[in-house]
Amino acid sequence: MATTQTLSTGDRIPDFSLQDENGQLFNIRDYVGKKKLVIYFYPKDESAVCTKEACSFRDSYADFTDAGAIVIGINAGSVESHRSFKEHHRLPFTLLSDPGNKLLKQFGVKNVLFLTGRETFLVGLDGKIEASFRGFLKGDAHAEKMLAMLRVNV
């Protein structure tokens, strides 16, 4: 399902399986219906804005789990890069490797200039998008916006 249109509120997310930071297969079907999902796409491990974004999710992680949600970060980086990034910043959530940005394209996340886009989706128990936020230079705002949306959509 290639798309040029960004998925929006009410759209069902695609089924996907990707490798996590430990090389284990992560299948989204194992989580849909059990937890709300906060799926964020970000350009690059260890870049300034991406690190700020990841640490913002880390610092409010307990609030996400209290709201019944899991956080998943996704980009085209390798399993090894994700493992190093996760360890370096003590990230308590899953990072998935999306080689070739195939899943990013299925979600319709748009590039910004020559960089991969930054967009976060809140997915309900039914596997449909409840809200999204796009803020390329506002890495730290993504966690804040998603928490606010989670509280509204409880």
Q: Single out the catalytic residue among 50, 69, 72, 146.
A: 50
Distance CA 34, CA 98 (A): 23
Q: For residue 30, what is the DSSP state? A: G
Are 57 and 73 in contact by the 8 Å Cβ rule? The answer is yes
50 is catalytic: yes
Distance CA 17, CA 7 (A): 18
Q: What DSSP line would sit under 55-99, residue for residue? A: HHHHHTHHHHHHTTEEEEEEES--HHHHHHHHHHHT--SEEEE-G
Q: Which residues are marked as active site? A: 50
